Amino acid sequence: QVQLVESGGGSVQVGDSLRLSCAVSGRTVSSCGMGWFRQAPGKERTLVATITRGRDSTYYADSVKGRFTISRDNAKNTVFLQMNSLKPEDTAVYYCAADADYGFQIRPYDYDSWGQGTQVTVSS
């Protein structure tokens, strides 16, 4: 059974940076397509960034392009989301997700394993 545990969230000011981590157990992170999603109160869960299985191709939501970077460390079996130049609209619960399929997976139902989420709050 795959388990995902996010960490690294917190409360920061506009323009600050955070790095979220997603520790994976039960499957090697290199054999997964991985995604970061976020969900603000009263809103749908939406994709922030994804990295494909195999080629490590990445895809970002337009709202975070140039500010966020997804990466994986196979030795640590962990996926990261580096978030720079944070804005108040980045405030949400951030979720890590994993799936064994290849190719870009941009919808929540593309993923079969989820973490519990970590809160990110950006204040002006």
* pLDDT tens, residue by residue, 65-89: 999 999 999 999 999 999 999 999 9
Sign of CA dihedral 73, 80, 31, 53: negative
- In angstroms, rounded to a whole number, what is the distance separating the alpha carbons of residues 107 and 1? 21
Mean pLDDT (10-residue bins), the chain, 124 residues: 96 98 96 97 97 94 98 97 98 97 94 97 96
Residue 58: phi and psi, rounded to 5, are -120, 155
- In angstroms, rounded to a whole number, what is the distance separating the alpha carbons of residues 96 and 9? 12
